[in-house]
């Protein structure tokens, strides 16, 4: 009897693991126009699902096909909001849904696009206009009562990326102890690297510095602070710089990547797709992919600038190198205070692995509570010089970050990169025809799977080691932690 019960539980867990996207509830509306809008969204959803071009950067919300959620916006569900703030919160979710849906539609084949082009609500509106119009109409009906607004707050959650069924089958309480010991050992090894003087770091190839364009200007702290202040003038106090100001910020804080280059796999480049939709890195074109994010810290919403680079591969160092594989990359992030100063820098590899924190002199590091969860890793604190750019020293092959220092100019072995929006990765041109996302419907690049997935699966992370999309970066093997956790910094850092 006990065996049957256990088998039933495991089957239920396995079935839940197979459910990728929430099924949208079918609603009936009292008037023809709103019903037409509901049918319009239903048709678009069916089209992108059938075509296999679902984009999961922001998660769908069951019953609200015109809204999507991320971890930052989900955090507001726990806060008290007046009607003005609630409507602004919903508007931000609507913007995420519109952006995601338009990207999905851009990835349809030519024939599918022609069919979709006729799915418009009014003759004088395009698809974007119809999505906006119908979203506003349906939310005005769905959310006009207080109990309806409370229901949305109760379900507007970003999905958990960890698979509990894997942890159950993998005897997580026991296997996690071994993983935690291994992680602490890696922390100790890395700390030994950071104890070395910069000039003593081993170089096996040639050091190549990738710099932002020479004409990028650095804003003063006062100018940065003014942009943040002016763009936060909304009821949610979320910094939302204009496109022009956003570019000025990225130009100002664009880092320098200094890479020990032993082979072509150590060169950064532009992500492209071949005829089979397999990603390749064109190292002749140097791009750094950028996007904004936010994090709450006490009563503030801080602005974050993310810069990502991509390598062709992490090459094998031996025949049993389970960490090697197709594609590799790093995301470097700076979190800005409202006074224009950097609070801290942090980074991950684009698999979510190797999360490193680099607090500045403006951050207070809080004592970490003793717990089973793996601790955060701070290999170095940095003292920011506002007149110089951060230089990220990167090892060959493993692409581990070995040091952060500040400098402006490199006389030789330097190349310039261009900044590009990270949304470009969600709709890349194919060699033959059309567009496709770099990521699959689960937010993973399947061609980048690593051998480590056969050993690390008990920790509950899908395909550990594989490169993945924003919103899917689980960063802790032991415990649950995400790169885009809303309250990540509040748990470990404070402001003087």
Q: What is the pTM of this model?
A: 0.93
pLDDT of residue 4: 44
Mean pLDDT, residues 180-187 = 96
pLDDT band per the 50, 70, 90 thresholds, residue 314: very high
Residues 6+ apart with CB under 8 A from 482: 71, 161, 352, 473, 474, 475, 488
Is the pLDDT reported for residue 18 higher than 70? Answer: no
pLDDT band per the 50, 70, 90 thresholds, residue 25: low
First-last CA distance in the chain:
59
Q: How far is CA 397 from CA 203, 205, 265, 267, 324, in A?
A: 12, 10, 7, 10, 9
Mean pLDDT, residues 34-52 = 94
Mapped onto helix, strand or coil, the DSSP state of residue 400 is coil
| CA dist., res. 381 & res. 359, Å (int) | 5
| CA dist., res. 72 & res. 245, Å (int) | 22
> The tokens 């395009």 sit on which residue?
126
pLDDT (tens digit, 9 = 90+) per residue, 434-486?
A: 899 999 999 999 999 999 999 999 999 999 999 999 999 999 999 999 999 99
pLDDT band per the 50, 70, 90 thresholds, residue 30: confident
Is the pLDDT reported for residue 10 higher than 50? Answer: no
186-216 b/e (C-beta count within 10 Å ≥ 16 → b): eeeebeebbeeeeeeeeeeeebbbbbbeeeb
pLDDT of residue 69: 98
CB 311 within 8 Å of CB 264? no
pLDDT band per the 50, 70, 90 thresholds, residue 409: confident
| CA dist., res. 194 & res. 224, Å (int) | 31
pLDDT (tens digit, 9 = 90+) per residue, 90-102?
A: 999 999 999 999 9
At 420, give phi and psi (nearest 5°).
-135, 145
| CA dist., res. 104 & res. 81, Å (int) | 32
pLDDT (tens digit, 9 = 90+) per residue, 240-258?
A: 999 999 999 999 999 999 9
Is the pLDDT reported for residue 259 higher than 80? Answer: yes
């Amino acid at each position: 009897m006990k065996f049957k019960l256990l088998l039933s539980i495991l089957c239920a867990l396995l079935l839940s693991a197979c459910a990728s996207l929430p099924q949208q509830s079918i609603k009936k509306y009292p008037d023809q126009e709103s019903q037409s809008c509901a049918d319009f969204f239903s048709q678009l959803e069916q089209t992108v699902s059938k075509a296999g071009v679902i984009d999961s950067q922001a998660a769908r919300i069951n019953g609200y096909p015109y809204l999507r959620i991320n971890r930052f916006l989900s955090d507001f569900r726990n806060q008290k909001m007046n009607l003005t703030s609630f409507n602004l919160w919903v508007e931000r979710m609507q913007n995420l849904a519109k952006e995601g849906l338009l990207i999905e539609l851009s990835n349809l084949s030519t024939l599918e696009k022609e069919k979709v082009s006729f799915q418009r609500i009014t003759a004088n509106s395009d698809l974007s206009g119809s999505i906006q119009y119908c979203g506003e109409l349906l939310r005005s009906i769905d959310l006009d009562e207080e109990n309806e607004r409370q229901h949305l707050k109760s379900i507007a959650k970003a999905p958990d990326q960890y698979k509990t069924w894997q942890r159950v089958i993998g005897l997580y309480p026991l296997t996690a102890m071994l993983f935690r010991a291994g992680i602490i050992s890696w922390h100790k090894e890395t700390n030994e690297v950071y104890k070395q003087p910069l000039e003593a770091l081993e170089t096996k190839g040639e050091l190549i510095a990738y710099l932002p364009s020479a004409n990028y200007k650095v804003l003063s702290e006062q100018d940065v602070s003014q942009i943040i202040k002016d763009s936060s003038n909304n009821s949610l106090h979320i910094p939302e710089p204009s496109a022009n100001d956003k570019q000025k910020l990225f130009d100002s804080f664009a880092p320098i990547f200094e890479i020990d280059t032993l082979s072509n796999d150590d060169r950064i480049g532009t992500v492209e797709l071949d005829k089979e939709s397999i990603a390749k890195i064109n190292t002749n074109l140097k791009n750094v992919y950028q996007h904004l994010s936010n994090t709450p810290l006490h009563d503030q919403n801080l602005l974050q600038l993310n810069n990502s680079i991509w390598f062709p591969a992490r090459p094998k160092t031996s025949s049993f190198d389970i960490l090697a594989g197709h594609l590799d990359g790093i995301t470097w992030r700076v979190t800005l205070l409202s006074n224009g100063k950097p609070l801290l820098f942090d980074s991950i590899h684009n698999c979510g692995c190797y999360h490193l924190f680099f607090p500045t002199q403006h951050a207070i590091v809080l004592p970490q509570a003793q717990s089973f969860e793996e601790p955060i890793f701070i290999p170095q604190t940095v003292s920011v010089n506002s007149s110089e750019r951060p230089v990220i020293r990167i090892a060959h092959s493993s692409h581990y970050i070995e040091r952060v220092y500040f400098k402006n100019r490199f006389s030789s072995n330097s190349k310039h990169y261009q900044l590009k929006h990270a949304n470009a990765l969600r709709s890349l041109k194919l060699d033959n025809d059309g567009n496709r996302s770099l990521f699959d419907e689960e937010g993973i690049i399947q061609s980048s799977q690593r051998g480590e997935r056969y050993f690390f699966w008990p920790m509950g992370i899908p395909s550990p080691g594989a490169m993945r999309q924003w919103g899917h970066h689980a960063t802790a093997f032991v415990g649950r932690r995400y790169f885009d956790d809303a309250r990540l910094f509040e748990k470990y850092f404070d402001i003087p």
